[in-house]
A and B are shown apart, each in its own frame.
Chain A
């Protein structure tokens, strides 16, 4: 039985964390995540969860405390965004390298300077190579569903890796949407009882964590870490399948929207994909075969599956809400890598949009789809990477 509610993204994710009831949560407030963990701390104060909430002095300390609690043998969650995630950077690698299944919602926010509190993907893209599993969410419903599934993925005995669940700052975190909550006992049953792996608090079996590993073994440890990532896709799909039985909502490695017979398509993450799908529908009505691909699992990136989904297209635009200054957008680089092994590839362009919370409007998607339609006629494009929605 599900319950239909009107909730913000932050509210929805805080509720998911309440339903999961982690053993330990160490968090530090930062806009636009603050409201999520403030709600969660109310659950702690009101006795609705048994979580030990550790208030720390920085995000670096928040992740450090989470690492300690997870190593000790607890189910652990935290949340952050933007500069907070950047401050955690060093400890992100410790969490993944130590194979600790910490779950962390990331309310995507731009990085300074100039100082900006609004939504873009620079934060999570900066943590791309941190060894964390990345799940991305279009709306409050997906953020809620992904958070619940994240515990199952992270804690799977073949995986034991931390997972970040990305949702767009303000656009999703602070906007109210219609969505559905699962019942508390359904979520409790779905995530199950936490099973620690080699916990420090198993006093019968003393052990040492975080050792110094020199060049004679470090390379092997990283190779082993890569191997774990190769197993993540199957676990994500299996968890999604179970979640569908419970919720009726279907998840995959990515969402392919009207893509099967499409000739042109947008590849776009998170909330802007929602806007773009409406525009795809408009183009379809006008007889133009448009489609869309919205990645969900960004790390590990499902290169083969994405290539299969996009190979028949004539032209693609990858839209990035983050820039790699002096490089292409980070999502564009992934899609390029996915398509390179194909003998015949679609023409690809890259647009940078919506930095620092700049609105992504239907007209932006229209402009890009029109450009793609033109490219399919001429077979030519003017420039690979370009900013859109920017004043001259």
Chain B
């Protein structure tokens, strides 16, 4: 991306394009990655509800996979996941392993 010169900036650093956070892919911050194990998922959608970003995708009312472009690996989803019969549907694994 070409960075703007000082003559091209909006006065007072106002961002005129609403919703441009989508352009900033924060998934690269992640140190731990959540893995969804569909076989243990009861479709409670707690993960979707608790995700502080919008990194849990839902399709046709059902849990879909993570959007790793924006998941920062905070682990809240894994913590809140009730799982099935004592087995979590979301587990955190270290990135790069």
* Contacts from B to A (Cβ < 8 Å): 3-7, 9-20
Q: Determine the distance from Cα of A213 to Cα of B17 in the docked complex, in whole angstroms.
A: 16
Enumerate 28 A-B pairs (CB-CB under 8 Å) in ascending A order.
A97-B13, A98-B13, A98-B14, A99-B11, A160-B11, A198-B11, A198-B14, A198-B16, A205-B16, A205-B18, A207-B15, A207-B16, A207-B18, A208-B14, A208-B15, A208-B18, A209-B15, A211-B13, A216-B3, A217-B3, A220-B9, A221-B9, A221-B13, A223-B6, A224-B6, A224-B7, A224-B11, A228-B11
Residues B4 and A220 in contact, CB atoms below 8 Å apart = yes
Chain A: CB-nearest residue to B19: A206
Residues A220 and B16 in contact, CB atoms below 8 Å apart = no
Neighbouring B residues of A99 by C-beta, 8 Å: 11-12
Residues A197 and B11 in contact, CB atoms below 8 Å apart = yes
Q: Determine the distance from Cα of A97 to Cα of B12 in the docked complex, in whole angstroms.
A: 5
Q: Determine the distance from Cα of A88 to Cα of B12 in the docked complex, in whole angstroms.
A: 19
Neighbouring A residues of B14 by C-beta, 8 Å: 98, 198, 207-209
Within 8 A of B (CB), among A64-107: 97-100
Neighbouring A residues of B12 by C-beta, 8 Å: 97-100, 160, 198, 209
Q: Determine the distance from Cα of A224 to Cα of B20 in the docked complex, in whole angstroms.
A: 23
Min Cβ gap A383→B in Å is 43
Neighbouring A residues of B3 by C-beta, 8 Å: 216-217
Q: Determine the distance from Cα of A227 to Cα of B8 in the docked complex, in whole angstroms.
A: 12
Main secondary structure of the interface of A (DSSP, over half): loop
Within 8 A of B (CB), among A210-256: 210-211, 213, 216-217, 220-221, 223-224, 227-228
Chain B: CB-nearest residue to A157: B11
A206-B18, A220-B6, A223-B6 known; A213 vs B13 contact (CB < 8 Å)? yes
Question: Which one of B5, B6, B10 has the highest number of Cβ atoms from chain A below 10 Å of its Cβ?
Answer: B6
| CB-contact partner of A221 in B6, B15, B17, under 8 A | B6
Q: Determine the distance from Cα of A224 to Cα of B8 in the docked complex, in whole angstroms.
A: 9
Q: Determine the distance from Cα of A160 to Cα of B11 in the docked complex, in whole angstroms.
A: 8
Chain A to chain B: the 7 pairs with minimum beta-carbon distance, closest first:
A99-B12, A206-B18, A208-B15, A220-B6, A223-B6, A98-B12, A99-B11
Q: Determine the distance from Cα of A154 to Cα of B75 in the docked complex, in whole angstroms.
A: 48
Neighbouring A residues of B13 by C-beta, 8 Å: 97-98, 209-211, 213, 221
Q: Determine the distance from Cα of A213 to Cα of B12 in the docked complex, in whole angstroms.
A: 11
Neighbouring A residues of B6 by C-beta, 8 Å: 220-221, 223-224, 227
Neighbouring A residues of B16 by C-beta, 8 Å: 198, 205, 207
Q: Determine the distance from Cα of A55 to Cα of B13 in the docked complex, in whole angstroms.
A: 28
Neighbouring B residues of A228 by C-beta, 8 Å: 11
Chain A: CB-nearest residue to B20: A208
Min Cβ gap B41→A in Å is 35
Q: What sequence of 0s and 1s flags, for each residue 98-119 of chain A, a beta carbon within 8 Å of any chain B beta carbon?
A: 1110000000000000000000
Q: Determine the distance from Cα of A221 to Cα of B14 in the docked complex, in whole angstroms.
A: 11
Neighbouring B residues of A97 by C-beta, 8 Å: 12-13
Neighbouring B residues of A220 by C-beta, 8 Å: 4-6, 9
Q: Determine the distance from Cα of A70 to Cα of B7 in the docked complex, in whole angstroms.
A: 24
Neighbouring B residues of A207 by C-beta, 8 Å: 14-18
Chain B: CB-nearest residue to A212: B13
